[in-house]
Structure 1
Amino acid sequence: MQRAGRQVTVVDAGEIGRGCSFGNAGLIAVDHVQPLARPDVLLGAFGMLANPLGPLHLRWASLPSLLPWLVRFALASRPSAVRKGTDILALLLRNAVPAWRQLASEPGEANLFQRQGYLTLFETAQAARAAEDENRLLLEHGIRFEPVSGSGIRAMCPALKPQMHAGRFHPDAIYTTDPFGLVQNLYRRFVGDGGIVVEGRRVLRILTEAGAAVGLQLQDGELKADNVVLTAGNGSPDLIRPLGVKAPLTSERGYHVMVEAGKVPLNIPLLFAERGFVATPMASGLRLAGTVELGAHAPDWKRADVLRRHAAELFDRPGLAEQTRWFGDRPTLPDYLPMIGMVPGYRNVTLAFGHQHLGLTLAAITAELVGDILRTGAPRHDISALSVSRFS
């Protein structure tokens, strides 16, 4: 919107880019067309509770407080809801890479992306068979991939131990070698274009009069505004509740571990389907990222340890030395779809949050949709499935 000639002020309670942008896997994950809210995941719910170090885990102690969210998750797992969710995610994902190319168009930003694609790996024949339905969905929705045999995987990734049964290569996908650097580059260009950043200050409430937002109440004063766009992730529900919108968000915690880059020579990211994690070659080393933990409070660093153990089991490179580790909480709605659109009854409040583990992937296409809403009142695509009133 700043590039389109508006005067834009960004208010961020923390440091720009230090949230999940700092620690994500770096992928524009074009194959994640199915929401996690679906029958097969629901059937595995007891397994989530039984295995604290599995790729998907729910903490026992948080079960009572998570129960309302889990009930909505179960409702979103109905076949009709899953089809609807898959359709809208596929639409967004088809446009994710072009939107990023448009947004990160300056050399400093574009150079932080690699365009070699990525590889999803299946260690067993059973896992490869289980992925056949997803393969059909990808083809149905126009998301291109190439099947890869076990021998083909070894040729592409000689650092892997020879235990992969099959793979799926996405040649059109891109990834960033420095997610934090990418956000910092966009931030500098925004400021260079005349954008204003209010950093380290928290928004307490949205100020309204007669069906419109007129500004924001900050900790130390007020900020006037003609339009308000709320992209505050897990901080969003409290700010929109007075406007009559319910957003049953929960925090989906992920972890990463950085190891030495030279130890594992990779030129593309690898997604390990059964283990639920990604290995991405980045500028500062190899990033092992993933896992989904619901109901987390204090970090469970055993989940970071298991990422290192996976790497030791998968790569034929002994003695991988850990450099750093991280955890972050991703804002997730029960149907695993973001909330994008205008608040009913308010002519100038737009919401865009709840992107779960697709925050980086869907950031640029979300920016385009929000820009459409602010300029014309309607997005370029039918995003009614992402309605901001669907839980109200």
Structure 2
Amino acid sequence: MSGGGGHALVLGAGVVGAATALALRRDGWRVTLLDRGAPGEGCSLGNAGNIGVASVVPQATPAQVRAIPKLLREADGALVARWPYVLRELPWFVRFVANGRQGKMEANARALAALMERVPASWEALAAEAGAADLFARAGLLHVWRGEVAMRGAAWAYDLRRRLGARVEEMDADAARAREPALQGEVAGARLLPDVPTVTDPLELTRRLVSRFEALGGAVERAEATEVVREGDRVRGVRTAGGGPLDAELVVLAAGAWSARLARPHGARVPVVAERGYHVMVSGANARVSQPLMLVEARVMASPMRGGLRLTTMAEFADPDAPPDHDRAARVLDGASASLPGVMGRVESRWMGPRPSTPDSLPVIGRAPRARNLLLAYGHGHLGLTMASVTAEAVADLAADRPPRLNLAACSATRSAA
């Protein structure tokens, strides 16, 4: 399979879909980027902005699995399970617990680390092409701990990062405050991940990718894909809500939390759930930090952005289209004040978006088992922004029958994910 003017449909105009559409257009495909919303205004809009090259610790770990009952009992905690949704998606949660076994967790961590190897160079090249290098800040990411006991208990996670090649610098409370003067509350110490860049406007980044795509002749259309249509061992296009079918020689499924439903009829077995995150953008005299911070016990990320300070939190397992619970998110975000007094400031905007999460924290990237010309690019969880550039490269390689630059062995759509 090669470009040669064939029509490619990319479903999903978040950062993964936008980067993928651009890569395919660059390879000579006639590409339509399709989404029910405007480009970048779904889950890609609201993330914390980190290019998480040190995010090699999976979500499912022995410690995290043990902590789940306690976290769910916290009436205003950052972990929320909407039980009808959990029961509907029970196989995902069973597999998540299975992935929390020590050996399985370490295997998943090694696979994540391998996927990260090309991320810095890949994003540098893509940002330069899209004229977006100015959106990348390089202050690193500071994990801040309020309690000494909790900080010592998490030492294994930083040891794992080091073993897998990430740089980690330890700081006591005085060093953490010297690096970030806004830390005027409770601080026991910190861990700096110096090689983690931050995108200061994720929405603008996606828009610039789309602008470059359109400048090369790509097309953007607003429609909701309801079915990927297959005949035999090939797909021939998609059906859309309220419109006619769209034909294509290649379809790429990059629709985030809505992807698994569309991929399942074509042999994809890895379950995906909506792990919904929330943020607020705040402004004011105290709502300023100089670099991205993760307030670990509060489960709040504070990211300085072009439009103010973004505070992100919550892992809410609920239907992706269910109404948001901004009141609960506000109560969780109040926990940031223990280390950053007064940081909440004036709330300028609120947001909720569904992360497409797999049980093993690894994305689904590759060919659909029952259709060679249906390519899958979803399930990135917290790492969609991080892995958008390398995912786009891998999809373009598969579409052109080139050996992928990314080792996709751990990303198979037929893996057990358990």
TM-score (norm. length: structure 2): 0.88
* SS across alignment from 1:364: helix
Are residue 57 (structure 1) and residue 80 (structure 2) matched? yes
Q: Which residue of 1 aligns with 2:278?
A: 255
Partners of 1:76 and 1:335 within 8 A in 2: yes
Deviations 1:317-349 (A, max 9, x none): 477121111111111122222111111242211
Deviations 1:43-91 (A, max 9, x none): 1221132113223232345443243221121222222321221011112
Flag the 1:242–1:308 CA change in 2: closer, same or farther, 3 A: closer
Among 353, 372, 381, the residue aligned to 2:397: 372
Q: Distance in 2 between matches of 1:275 and 1:138?
A: 22
Among 301, 309, 322, the residue aligned to 2:326: 301
Q: List aligned pairs for 1:338-377, cutoff 5 A.
A: 338-377=363-402
Q: List aligned pairs for 1:170-189, cutoff 5 A.
A: 170-189=193-212
Deviations 1:156-215 (A, max 9, x none): 11111142122111222111111111111111111001111112x111222223311222
Residue identity (%): 37
Amino acid at match of 1:141: L
Q: Distance in 2 between matches of 1:62 and 1:328?
A: 16
Flag the 1:67–1:346 CA change in 2: closer, same or farther, 3 A: closer
Q: Distance in 2 between matches of 1:17 and 1:276?
A: 25
Are residue 217 (structure 1) and residue 239 (structure 2) matched? yes
Q: List aligned pairs for 1:210-289, cutoff 5 A.
A: 210-219=232-241, 220-260=243-283, 262-289=285-312
Q: List aligned pairs for 1:61-80, cutoff 5 A.
A: 61-80=84-103
Deviations 1:84-114 (A, max 9, x none): 2101111223332322112111474111111
Partners of 1:154 and 1:162 within 8 A in 2: no
Q: List aligned pairs for 1:40-55, cutoff 5 A.
A: 40-55=63-78
Shift of 1:144: 1.4
Larger deviation, residues 300-309 vs 136-145: 300-309
Larger deviation, residues 88-97 vs 295-304: 295-304
Specify every segment of 5 or more residues in structure 2 that has no aligned partner in the other structure, as ranges: 1-23
Q: Distance in 2 between matches of 1:374 and 1:124?
A: 50
Partners of 1:84 and 1:385 within 8 A in 2: no
Among 126, 134, 137, the residue aligned to 2:160: 137
Flag the 1:236–1:391 CA change in 2: closer, same or farther, 3 A: farther
* SS across alignment from 2:361: coil
Q: List aligned pairs for 1:25-36, cutoff 5 A.
A: 25-36=48-59
Q: Which residue of 2 aligns with 1:323?
A: 348
Q: Which residue of 1 aligns with 2:11?
A: none
Amino acid at match of 2:231: E
Flag the 1:95–1:273 CA change in 2: closer, same or farther, 3 A: farther
Q: Distance in 1 between matches of 2:272 and 2:130?
A: 36
Partners of 2:287 and 2:343 within 8 A in 1: no
Shift of 1:286: 0.5
Shift of 1:375: 2.3
Flag the 1:249–1:52 CA change in 2: closer, same or farther, 3 A: farther
Shift of 1:20: 1.1
Flag the 1:367–1:79 CA change in 2: closer, same or farther, 3 A: same
* SS across alignment from 1:133: helix
Q: Distance in 2 between matches of 1:53 and 1:390?
A: 36
Amino acid at match of 2:128: S
Deviations 1:355-378 (A, max 9, x none): 112211221121122222222354
Are residue 159 (structure 1) and residue 175 (structure 2) matched? no
Are residue 206 (structure 1) and residue 228 (structure 2) matched? yes
* SS across alignment from 1:347: strand
Q: Which residue of 2 aligns with 1:168?
A: 191
Q: Which residue of 1 aligns with 2:62?
A: 39
Shift of 1:151: 0.9
Q: Distance in 2 between matches of 1:131 and 1:318?
A: 25
Q: Distance in 1 between matches of 2:130 and 2:259?
A: 33
Partners of 1:215 and 1:222 within 8 A in 2: yes
Partners of 2:137 and 2:199 within 8 A in 1: yes
Q: Distance in 2 between matches of 1:319 and 1:112?
A: 24
Among 336, 339, 359, the residue aligned to 1:314: 339
Flag the 1:49–1:61 CA change in 2: closer, same or farther, 3 A: farther
* SS across alignment from 2:268: coil
Partners of 2:57 and 2:161 within 8 A in 1: no
Partners of 2:377 and 2:395 within 8 A in 1: yes
Q: Distance in 1 between matches of 2:158 and 2:270?
A: 32
Q: Distance in 1 between matches of 2:55 and 2:205?
A: 22
Amino acid at match of 2:155: E
Larger deviation, residues 334-343 vs 182-191: 334-343
TM-score (norm. length: structure 1): 0.93
Q: Distance in 1 between matches of 2:211 and 2:405?
A: 28
Shift of 1:245: 2.2
Larger deviation, residues 269-278 vs 96-105: 96-105
Partners of 2:78 and 2:332 within 8 A in 1: no
Q: Which residue of 2 aligns with 1:119?
A: 142
In the comparison of the two structures, how many residue pairs are matched?
A: 391
Flag the 1:86–1:360 CA change in 2: closer, same or farther, 3 A: same
* SS across alignment from 2:391: helix
